[in-house]
Amino acid sequence: MELLGQQLTAGIASGTIYACIALALVMIYQAIGHVNFAQGEMAMFSTFIAWQLMRWGLPYWAAFAGATVISFAGGVLIDRLMFRPIRTAAVLTQIVMFVGLLAVLNSAAGFIWDFTSKPFPPPFGADPLLGSRLVSTHQATMVVATFLLLVLLYVFFRNTRVGLAMQSATEDPVSARLVGIRVEWMIALGWGMAAAIGAIAGMLIAPVVFLEPNMMRGILLYGFAAAVLGGLSSPGGAVFGGFAVGIIENLAGTYIPVVGGELKLTIALFIIISVLVVRPTGLFGATHTPRV
């Protein structure tokens, strides 16, 4: 029983990591209708920026805020410089661009900060939470931060004019323009927000996995599985998917002997494939029922 409890908590802990990345993926998907394969590397790069700011002597929260703001601006820039010119190009062109961005960010980070692992501080320390043996303060921080992000996104999309404009710009860009929505800026804003969320995710993940250019490699795959499982159009689904993937991964690793520690990553791929086959829109994704 204690083993199960431990595995569940561990699952929830890694689940928050996946949930954060999945949230950022959903954000971009909402803005441009594509999955951003470079999301993990963007988050990694943002985390390096925070690390650099701290190296230069800034306190943690100043570096945190600075990296988030810089990442937002960076996300907007990436959209304006790289993706705007190919907006009407074929899907494959866009995917090549994503992969290119991934490679560029990865090697740029390696070039600037080299490939050795660096420790990254957790915001509130990593001691056991209130003397509990199961949960550390940092795990609790991550869970709270993920839910805070989710609530903020929910309020943004539900209750603000910009959020409404952004949703409609994704659903029907032509009609959105006809009511006066500046669709291009909505897309840029989506990129900025995704980059900022990615930055926060990266800074929360880095204390767990250590900071280095390849830190997001496995995580992005899990984040992707989480987003697909929850439904790419649903922020709440993405968070649920993140926790589900984290828990499934840990339980399978412990209780299914064949899986063990070695095949854990395969679980993520298995989840992606089964969801896409059985329910392509994910658990909470909008199913579009065409009128007859």
Which residues are near other proteins by CB under 8 A? 161, 164-165, 167-168, 171-172, 174-183, 286, 288-289, 291
In the complex, minimum distance from the CB of residue 235 to other proteins, in angstroms, rounded to a whole number: 15
Nearer to other proteins, 36 or 234 (CB): 234
The phi-psi region of residue 268 (left if phi > 0; otherwise alpha if psi is between -120 and 50; otherwise beta) is: alpha
In the complex, minimum distance from the CB of residue 173 to other proteins, in angstroms, rounded to a whole number: 10
In the complex, minimum distance from the CB of residue 174 to other proteins, in angstroms, rounded to a whole number: 7
What are the tokens at 31?
A: 């803005």
In the complex, minimum distance from the CB of residue 261 to other proteins, in angstroms, rounded to a whole number: 42
Nearer to other proteins, 59 or 180 (CB): 180
CB atoms < 10 A from the CB of 88, how many? 6
Instruction: Tell me how long the chain is.
Output: 292
Nearer to other proteins, 60 or 185 (CB): 185
Nearer to other proteins, 77 or 171 (CB): 171
Q: Identify the CA nearest to 263 among candidates 276, 252, 279, 273.
A: 252
| 71, 28 Cβ separation under 8 angstroms | no
In the complex, minimum distance from the CB of residue 242 to other proteins, in angstroms, rounded to a whole number: 24
| 198, 39 Cβ separation under 8 angstroms | yes
211 DSSP β-pair partners:
118
Q: What does the angle CA 112 – CA 36 – CA 145 come to, to the nearest 5 degrees?
A: 80
CA distances (Å), origin 144, targets 113, 137, 232, 248:
30, 11, 22, 21
In the complex, minimum distance from the CB of residue 3 to other proteins, in angstroms, rounded to a whole number: 44
Nearer to other proteins, 164 or 259 (CB): 164
Nearer to other proteins, 159 or 277 (CB): 159
